[in-house]
Amino acid sequence: MSKYIKLSSIILFIAITLTGFGLYKAQASGKQPELKIVTSQGKPELIEPVQAYGFLSHYSAGNYPSTLKLNNGSLSYLEDESFFKQLDSNINPFTDHLISNYRSFMRGKSRQANQFAETDQYILYAGLQSDVFFEGGNQNEVTLAALNKETEEEETFSVQLENDSSYNEIRAIYVDYPSVTLLVRTHSRSDKLNNVVYTFDVENPEDRLTEEVNLTREIGSDDSLYIGKPFDQTERYITLQTARENMDSMYTYTEEVTGYYAYDIKEKEVISIPSTEENMRLFTDNDKLYVGKVAKDNMGIYELKDDNQNMTLLGKFELSPSDTSNDALGYNHFNQNMTILNGKLYTYEYPEDMNRPLFKVTDIRTQEILFSGTIEQKDSNNEESPFIDIIEYRLNPMAN
Amino acid sequence: MKKSLSPLLKLTNFELSRLSKFLFTLMGLTVLANLVGYIYIPMKFMDKINKFTIESSATTEEVLNSLGTLSFYDVTMSLWIVAPIAIGVSGLLFYSIFIWYREWFGKNTFAYRLLMLPVSRMTLFFSKFIVIFIGIFTLISTQIVSLFIGYPIVSAIVDSTYFSSLGLIESMYMHPLFLILFPLEPNYFLILIVGATVLLVMFTLILMERSFASKGILFGIGYAMVALAIVLFPLFLSDIFNNNYLIYGSELVIIEVVLMIIVSISSLFTSRYLINNKITV
């Protein structure tokens, strides 16, 4: 035995060190705090349509933020999922839902959530070659796909966009099955940007799509065009804002909203919404159009009547100062943190005394708070609150 | 089972004895260089702090604003820690080649005696393979132990005001080399599979050269290139089909693991054929 002393001691040294290291790592890496949704007002089940991803920092979890997932009213950590599941997951809740439930349909398709739309029966997709492979290909050829959720049958169409652009970009799709509306940003060879609407009929497919409405031309402004963050892409209107960049210094600029519009998918026309001196927010829900006028600590929600010029005040809603100051223009979109879905206003905000989001659901007609709540630690003795920053937020229209 | 394990154990023990001097040198070098780093870097930092405080009569806050804090991560990124790792990796890489060629050196070729042993020649192959892995894990373990010794040394030398709160494990997670070498993430098994495949292909390459002399070098290079092409092929599927989302990340990992296992098994069979039928002394 003594002749194996060197071999056995080295193996023992390795075994002890690696086991000890494993134990130390498990203990020192820190456990993410166990969290729960705490309802301070209303019915807890009303948080169920909210899907969000956020970064969580907490002293017990070390210096690395964990990725928190809110889905169907329950909280979990991305890090707790299996290694293989983590490899396939997507930070956008809608894309993640599609990958998890329609894996085969998602194969070879873009990962941009706004290029997909879901109805009770179908999932629709529109994408260009540049959406799946960065080195391009034919920039005018759109692949459209429709998946019947019940029969799992997939139909794929290849259509040509009729324009002379050097580059196209699908910004969002909307569906009123079998009609699919595509909002496309076209880059002409003279560097001029146009936002164009195309329509495709899944049941009467055509090889070529002709421009239906040129939003840029209709609006008559070269300012940047932002789209209201689309969660339910089956609605009648697409809310739009134009904004201009004002250079504050050589390195910084602010964006000033220059106009409010909506595109009526049914009537195929652009509606200009009269702006006021107050900060405005635009919302759409089913076949209704709403305007939010933001004051110092509240927001009045108005319903646009048939002529789209007269507004009726539905009620005023309290807003935290942090939220009123937020002009909410993000990359390509606005309104991530405020949405009206099926007659309810969903908001999340960061009150000044809290380092995590406060979720609220309010009935827009009665102004009754149907749900108000935040994320807390399960261990109520633990005074240290985690810091949670929402990075992706979505409302699941199917959850209602 | 017992019959075949005993020669493997004996040969592994024998190979380890031959490696031990080199391995202990690398271990000693690692510990010594690291210790110098654990003492020298924080002392130099504190020296700088003291000098700055005296020369500019600065308050603690001003010192912190100007010089910042020192973390254990800063120490681990120094040459005193990184250089021994680089020497260890290249040393073992060199030894992986030397472990075969040493048998052919000298007047009385030891290879003849080894190959004439009344055991399967693959036992010799496996013993060399196992010893290299023992060497790798010994150096990894030495580095881990050294870091556990180093952390209290550094924190004792640096005044707590100027010592960053970054812990030992966080410093490891931030370090690009430790992320690959230490079992920190679940994907560590992939690194082990890559390492084992590279070593098996390299052994096959050496055996080809030993079997067919200069022609063997060409065969070896050809074999290594084919193996590399097989393993890397799935990474180019997106370019072939002009689509980045055709294969899911998890599927790509599974395909890569399967291909590496195929390459490893073919290397084992090729090596067995060469060592049994073609090798010359």
Domain boundary assignment for chain B: 1-184, 186-281
Interface of A with B in 16-75 (CB under 8 A): 17-18, 21-22, 24-25, 28-29, 62-64
- Show which of residues 106-165 on chain B sit within 8 Å of chain A, judged by CB atoms: 134, 137-138, 140-141, 144-145, 148
Pick A160 or B112 by higher pLDDT.
A160
Tell me, what DSSP letter sits at residue A51?
E
Write the CB contacts of A33 (distance below 8 Å, at least 6 apart in sequence): A56, A58, A60, A61, A377, A378, A379, A382, A386
The answer for A 105-124 residues in CB contact with B (under 8 A) is: 106-111
Interface test with A, best of B5, B6, B141 (most A CBs within 10 A): B141
Taking an 8 Å cut-off on Cβ atoms, the answer to whether B245 and A22 are in contact is: no
Phi, psi of B223 (to 5 degrees): -65, -45
- Scanning the structure block, which residue is given the tokens 């391009």? A136
Interface A–B counts its CB contacts (< 8 A) at 88
Asked if A235 and A172 count as a contact pair (C-beta separation under 8 A), the reply is no
Beta carbons of B144 and A129 less than 8 Å apart: no
Report CA-CA distances (Å) from A341 to A283, A288, A346, B10, B74: 9, 11, 7, 74, 51
| Residue A377: per-residue pLDDT | 81
Task: Give the other-Cβ count within 10 Å of A85's Cβ.
Answer: 13
**Sole residue written with tokens 């260089």:** B33
Left (φ > 0), alpha (ψ -120 to 50) or beta: where does B248 sit? beta
Going by pLDDT thresholds of 50, 70 and 90, the confidence category of residue B133 is very high
Between the CA atoms of B80, B82, B86 and B87, what dihedral angle is there, to the nearest 10 degrees? 20
Cβ–Cβ gap B250/A7 under 8 Å: no
pLDDT digits (tens), chain A, 400 positions = 577 889 999 999 999 999 999 999 888 766 678 888 889 999 999 999 999 998 887 665 555 678 899 998 889 998 888 999 999 999 899 999 999 999 999 999 999 999 999 999 999 999 999 899 987 666 789 999 999 999 999 999 999 988 878 888 999 999 998 999 999 999 877 778 889 999 999 999 999 988 899 999 998 888 888 888 778 888 899 999 898 888 877 777 777 888 899 999 998 999 998 887 778 888 999 888 999 888 877 888 999 886 666 788 888 888 765 555 545 555 566 766 788 988 999 988 887 777 888 899 999 989 899 999 988 887 766 666 778 888 888 899 888 6
Task: Give strand pairing partners of A118.
Answer: A123
CB contact under 8 A, A107 and B246: yes
What is the pLDDT, as a whole number, of residue B56?
86
pLDDT digits (tens, 9 = 90+) for A377-388: 877 666 667 788
Of the pLDDT bands very low, low, confident and very high (cuts 50, 70, 90), residue B114 is confident
- CB–CB contact B134 A108 (8 Å): no
3-state SS class at A348: strand
And the tokens for A33?
């705090």
Q: What is the pLDDT of residues B196-247, one digit of tens each?
A: 999 999 999 999 999 998 899 999 999 999 999 999 999 999 999 999 999 9
SS3 A187: strand
Question: In terms of Cα–Cα distance, which of A129, A358, A200, A114 is closest to B242?
Answer: A129
A9: number of Cβ within 10 Å: 10
For residues A131 and A247, what is the distance between their CA atoms, to the nearest angstrom?
A: 31
Cα A153 off chain centre by? 27
C-alpha A351/C-alpha A57 separation (Å) is 18
Task: Tell me how far apart the alpha carbons of residues B194 and B221 are, in angstroms, rounded to a whole number.
Answer: 18
pLDDT score at A382: 61
Whether A129 and chain B come into contact, CB under 8 Å, resolves to: yes
Distance (Å, rounded) from C-alpha B38 to C-alpha B41? 6
b vs e for A215-234, b when ≥16 Cβ sit within 10 Å of the residue's Cβ?
bbebbebebbbbbbbbbbbb
Q: How far apart are CA B108 and CA A124, in angstroms?
A: 75
Question: Is the peptide bond preceding residue A178 cis, with omega within 30 degrees of 0?
Answer: yes
pLDDT, tens only, B2-40 = 556 688 999 999 999 999 999 999 999 999 999 999 999
The pLDDT value given to residue A244: 86
pLDDT at residue A254, as a whole number: 78
Q: Which of A118-122, B89-93, B276-280 has the lowest mean pLDDT?
A: B276-280
- H or E element in which residue B16 lies: helix B2-56
DSSP H or E segment with residue A144: strand A141-148
Percent of chain B's residues with pLDDT above 70: 97
Cβ atoms < 10 Å from Cβ of A53: 21
Q: Are A201 and A367 in contact (CB under 8 A)?
A: no
pLDDT score for A330: 58
Euclidean distance between CA atoms B263 and B224, whole angstroms:
10
Q: How far does A100 lie from chain B, in Å, by closest CA?
A: 12
Question: At which residue do the structure tokens 């633990």 appear?
Answer: A382
Of B12, B182, B246, the CB nearest to A108: B246
Instruction: Please report which helix (H) or strand (E) contains residue B147, including its range.
Output: helix B121-157
Residue with tokens 């000693």: B28
Residue in chain B closest to A103 (alpha carbons) equals B248
Determine the pLDDT at residue A400. Answer: 60
In sequence order, which residues have a C-beta less than 8 Å from that of residue A193 and are 6 or more positions away? Answer: A185, A186, A187, A216, A222
Residue type for position A268 = K
Q: Is A398 on the interface with B (CB under 8 A)?
A: no
Please name which of A215, A210, A211, A212 lies closest in space to residue A226, comparing C-alpha atoms: A215
Interface confidence, given as ipTM, is 0.91
- Choose the closest CB to B145 out of A10, A17, A106: A17
Cα A62-A66-A67 angle, rounded to 5 deg: 175
Q: Is the CB of residue B14 less than 8 Å from the CB of residue B131? A: no
| B279 and A CB contact within 8 Å | no
Mean pLDDT of B121-144: 96
Q: For the sheet containing A224-228, what is the strand order?
A: A269-273, A253-264, A237-247, A224-228, A333-334
pLDDT of A298 reads 83
* pTM metric for this prediction: 0.86
Q: pLDDT of A1-20, one tens digit each?
A: 577 889 999 999 999 999 99
Tokens 């108000």 belong to residue:
A372
Q: How many CB atoms lie within 10 A of CB A78?
A: 15
Within 13 Å, how many C-alpha atoms sit on residue B36's CB side?
Answer: 12
Give CA–CA dist A320/A300, Å, rounded: 14
How do the domains of chain A map onto residue ranges? 92-220
